[in-house]
Each structure stands twice: as C-alpha cells, then as structure tokens.
Amino acid sequence: MASPVTPQFTGARRRLIDELRGKGISDMAVLRALDLVPRHQFVPTGVRHRAYEDAPLPIGNGQTISQPWVHATYLQTLHLSGSEQVLEIGTGSGYQTALLAQLCRHVYSVERIRPLLETARDAITACGIANVSLLCGDGTVGWPEYAPYDAILVSAGSPDVPQPLLDQLAAGGRLMVPVGGRDDQRLMEITRSGDEFQSREVSDVRFVPLVGKHGWDTA
Ligand code: SAH
C-alpha cells in the first residue's frame, strides 16, 4: 500500500502490534494488515498523537473508532483467506474497512452518517485502497444488491441479530455482531450452514448503538 505519510508513526505502530500480540493476537495476516494500515490517518488531527494507543477514540458525530484489539479480534476470528466478499455495517472512521481490504477480495461497507462516510472515503483513497465500495444508509437492512456475503461484520451494538443480515449470508458464511444492551454487548459469531445458524459468544464488548430499522430507534 503506497502512502506518502506511512513512515510517520512506524515505531508507535510496531509497539501497538507488540502490545496486541501480548493480548493474544497471533494471526500473521492480521498483524501484517495492522502494520500496513496507518491508523493515524483514520482519526481526527486532534487525537492523532493517540492513534497507536490500544484505545477507542472520538471521530466526531458522537461516534468512536474502536479499540485496535477489538478490530484485531474480529479479524482473527474470521481468519479470512483473501477470496471473500465481505459486508461491514458501520464504516465509522474506515480503519476496519481498510484492514479488511488487505484480507479479502472486496469490502462493501455501509455507514448511516454521511460526513463520517465521506471522511472515511478520503482516508481509504489516500491509502491507495481500491477494493472497497461505500454506501450511506441503514446497514441493518444489509446491502442486498451484492449479497450473499462470505462474512458480515457489524461494528455497532444491536438489541437483536438483524434478520436481513442472516438472510444475506452465503452458505458457510459468518456474521459477527455485538448483541445486548445499549451500553455493553456480547460479540456473537454466527455461522450459516444451509438454513441453519450456529452461534457462539466471542467476548464482551462495548459499542455505540446500531441505529436503524432492525436496531435501536435512536442513537
Ligand atoms: N469500525 C468503525 C466503528 C465506528 S462506530 C471504526 O472503528 O471506526 C460504529 C459506526 O456505526 C458509527 O459510525 C455509526 O454511525 C454507525 N452506525 C450505527 N448504526 C448504523 C446503521 N444502522 N447503519 C450503518 N451504520 C451505522
């Protein structure tokens, strides 16, 4: 990935990667993606000096970029091979979108807040990433046009599993979605085989609310 400012923060990025290894992230492809994508280009300038802390940060419009460990856990759990078509709900900063772009064939990502989507688009383009399609809208209804997806990642907390996302999973496909209350949730991994769905709990997480037809009514 070509980026004129990639050399900046290289030391800080390596230290973050060491910290994530210490917290159980061992998948080499995931660690490589974390090394390639400059997280500081996906956060507002006011918090850029904190870009390589393993912490969530404000990105404006009341939303946050997730903690790197959370992104790494999603990606390590999915263990993508590079050939997948992936749907992401909640583009936010676009950082996870950029990580996914390193690990699969094409990423479709939906964000409901347009200014965030446009900032994310700029950051993704500045990184020279081309295998991403972005849509402004309610991601709780998925993105039916390009379904089915081998993996679907939801980056906001939902009261329930949105049915359209289950419907848009390919055979053998996996959905990762935080389900629970407005303040804390359990990250679920749901695997489709035929019309059967198997679900398991990955970890406890805290996400901003998923707002939409199949999510919460208000932010
Ligand atoms: N992975 C992103 C997470 C951002 S926070 C990052 O680390 O930057 C979650 C995002 O989900 C917010 O930007 C919020 O606006 C968005 N969101 C919430 N409900 C949504 C919905 N129904 N459709 C699409 N995006 C939604």
Q: Is the pLDDT assigned to residue 184 strictly greater than 90?
A: yes
Retrieve residue 60's tokens.
Answer: 């404006």
Q: Which residues form the catalytic set? A: 66
Q: What is the mean pLDDT of residues 179-192?
A: 97
- Rounded Cα distance between 137 and 88, Å, is 12
- Rounded Cα distance between 211 and 116, Å, is 15
155 lines ligand 1 (CB under 6 A): yes
Return the pLDDT at 1. Answer: 52
Query: 53 exposed, middle or buried (CB, 10 Å; 0-12, 13-18, 19+)?
Result: middle
Q: Is the pLDDT assigned to residue 145 strictly greater than 70?
A: yes
Q: Whose CA is nearest to atom 3 of ligand 1?
A: 92
Q: What is the mean pLDDT of residues 21-50?
A: 97
Global confidence as pTM: 0.96
Q: What is the mean pLDDT of residues 81-106?
A: 98
Task: Give, for 96, the enclosing helix (H) or strand (E).
Answer: helix 95-103
- Rounded Cα distance between 19 and 24, Å, is 9
Q: Whose CA is nearest to atom 26 of ligand 1?
A: 90
The fold for domain 7-205 equals: Rossmann fold (3.40.50)
Report yes or no: 51 and 44 within 8 Å, Cβ to Cβ: no
Assign 2 a pLDDT band (cuts: 50, 70, 90).
very low
* SS3 (DSSP) at 92: coil
Q: What is the mean pLDDT of residues 131-135?
A: 98
154 lines ligand 1 (CB under 6 A): no
